[in-house]
Amino acid sequence: MVKQTAKFSFMEQWKEYKLSDILSIVSGFAYKGEYLGKGESLLLGMGCVSYSELFLEKGMRPYAGEFPERYSVEAGDIVLATRQQSDNLPILGMPAIVPQKFKGKKMVFGANLYKVVPKSPEFPIDYIYWLLKTPAYIRHIRSCQTGTTVRMITKANIEDYAFMCPCKEQRNQISKLLWDIEMKIVLNRRINDNLEQQAQALFKSWFVDFEPFRGGEFVDSALGSTPKELPIVYIEDIPHNIESGKRPKGGATFEGVPSIGAENIKGLGYYDYSKTKYIPKEYAQTIKKGKINGYELLIYKDGGKPGYFIPNFSIFGEGFPFNEMYINEHVFILDLMDNAYNAFAYFYMRTPYIMNQLNSIGGKAAIPGINTKDIECLPIYSNESPYVKRYGDIVLPFIKTILSNSLENARLAKMRDTLLPQLMSGELKISE
C-alpha cells in the first residue's frame, strides 16, 4: 500500500549520496566493424536503449571479434547511452537492463554505452535502474550535456548526480512495487506478441503457403497463382468506405479531442501518447468524416520524406488509445464493413505484394504518399471465401485482446511514471 507521508519526519532517515558513492561506470568497447553481423557473440549498441522500454533487442548485433573481459555484459546488467543523435530520441544517460533471456550468452557493449557496476549489495541493480529513470536524474543529465547535433555526456557527469535515499528496506520495497508494475507491462506485451505471431503464422499457412489447398485447382490471378477456392476481388468493387480526416485552420491544438496522425500508425497496440495532438471539441462535432469508431483499418497516407514512403497500418478499438478520436489529413480509414474482414485485411495489407505496391506508388509522388484510388485498386481475397471468414473470426478476438492489453499498459505506465518520482523523493511511502 502506498500512502502520502509527513515528508520531513519520514525523510529524517534518508541520507544524501552521489552516484559515485554507489556505483562505478565502465566505458564501452571500440569494436571493429569487420566483425559485425557474424559470430556467436552479441554486441550491444545505443539501439538497445529506450526512453520508455527496459531494453530493445533490435539494438543487438552478432559480433565475431574478441574483446577483453571488462567489456562483457551479463543478463541483469545496466548499460547507459553516452550520446544522443537528436532531440526526438531522449535516450542520453538513459538505462537499459539486459533481459534474463540472454543469460549465459556472450555479450559485449559498444563504445557509445557505459556499463553500471554497483559497488555494494546495499544498492542492488534494480534500485539503481529506477534511480536512473527519475525526472531529477534526467534533468541533471540534460544540464550536463554538451554538443548540438550530437549530444554527449561523460562518466563524471553521471557520477556527480546527488540524490537522497531511504534505508535498505524502503529501497527494496520501492524497487519491488515498481518492478511488479513493469513486469505486468512486460507480460502483456509478451501476450500481444504471441497473439500477433499466431495470427501471422496462420495467415502465412492459409494465404501464402496455401496449405489447405494443396492438391486443389490453382488459377492465374492478380496475386499470381492462387487457389480457385480463394476468389480475388478489388476493393473498389466490394462494400467499403474510405476517408481521410482534417484539422481546423491553424492546425492542431493542445487540448480537445485526440487527432490521430501518421506518426502513430505503427501496428497493433502501438501508440505514443507523447505525440498526441488535438482538435477543438466544437470543431470535431462539425466533421462528417474521419471519426474512428473502432476496428476499421487505419492506413499511413502521407507525410514522409521526398522519395521515401513506407506504408503502415493499425487498428484501434476497445477504448485504445482513446474513447473518442479522429484521424487527421495524413491518415486513411478503410472500413470493409465487417470487423472480421478488417482484421483479415490488416494482415493481408502487410504482405510483400501489397507493401511493395504501395511503396512503389507512394515513393513516386512529389509529397510521398498514396491516395484513395491507390487503395481502391488493390486486389484482396474475397470475404465470400469461408477461409477468409474463418480467419477473420479467429484473429478478431486476438486483436481485441491486444488492444485491451495495450490500454491496460498505458494505464500501468502512467501509474508507474507517477509513483516513481514520488517514491524516490519521499513524497510517498510504502506502508507496512
pTM of the model: 0.90
- Residue 171 covered by a domain: no
- Residue 136 covered by a domain: yes
If you search the block for the grid coordinates 507517477, which residue do you land on? Answer: 418
**pLDDT > 70 in the chain, percent:** 95
Give the range among 178-192, 203-217, 227-241, 243-257 with minimum mean pLDDT. Answer: 243-257
Same domain, 222 and 94: no
Same domain, 149 and 207: no
Classify 266 as helix, strand or coil: coil
For 250-289, how does the pLDDT look when each residue is reduced to its tens digit (9 = 90+)? 888 889 999 999 999 999 999 999 889 999 999 999 998 9
Q: Amino acid identity of 344? A: F
Closest Cα partner for 334 from 316, 318, 322, 351?
316
Cα–Cα distance for residue pair 232/226, rounded to 1 Å: 9
Cell of 39: 559470430
Give yes or no for a contact between 292 and 333, defined as CB atoms under 8 angstroms apart: yes
For 391-407, how does the pLDDT look when each residue is reduced to its tens digit (9 = 90+)? 999 999 999 999 999 99
pLDDT at 432: 59
pLDDT at 169: 92
pLDDT at 10: 58
Dihedral sign (CA 88, 93, 94, 98): positive
Same domain, 20 and 131: yes
pLDDT at 3: 58
pLDDT at 4: 59
Mean pLDDT of the chain: 93
Read off the pLDDT band of 416 (50, 70, 90): very high
Last residue of a domain, one of 163, 192, 217: 163
- Residue 409 covered by a domain: no
- Which CATH number characterizes residue 212's domain? 3.90.220.20
- Residue 193 covered by a domain: no
Highest mean pLDDT, choosing among 298-307, 315-324, 353-362 = 315-324
Read off the pLDDT band of 35 (50, 70, 90): very high
Beta strands in 365-426 (DSSP E): 379-381
pLDDT at 5: 55
If you search the block for the grid coordinates 482484421, which residue do you land on? Answer: 343
Q: Amino acid identity of 193? A: D
Res 7 pLDDT > 60: no
Domain count, the chain: 2
Quick one: which H or E segment has residue 39?
strand 36-44
- Residue 417 covered by a domain: no
Same domain, 66 and 135: yes
Q: How many CB atoms lie within 10 A of CB 225?
A: 9
**pLDDT > 90 in the chain, percent:** 85
Give the range among 42-56, 76-90, 91-105, 412-426 with minimum mean pLDDT. Answer: 76-90
Can you list the alpha helix ranges (DSSP code H) found in 120-224? Answer: 125-131, 135-144, 155-159, 168-207
Read off the pLDDT band of 88 (50, 70, 90): low
Mean pLDDT calculated for residue range 17-31 = 97
Structural domain of 57:
2-163
Res 110 pLDDT > 90: yes
- Residue 46 covered by a domain: yes
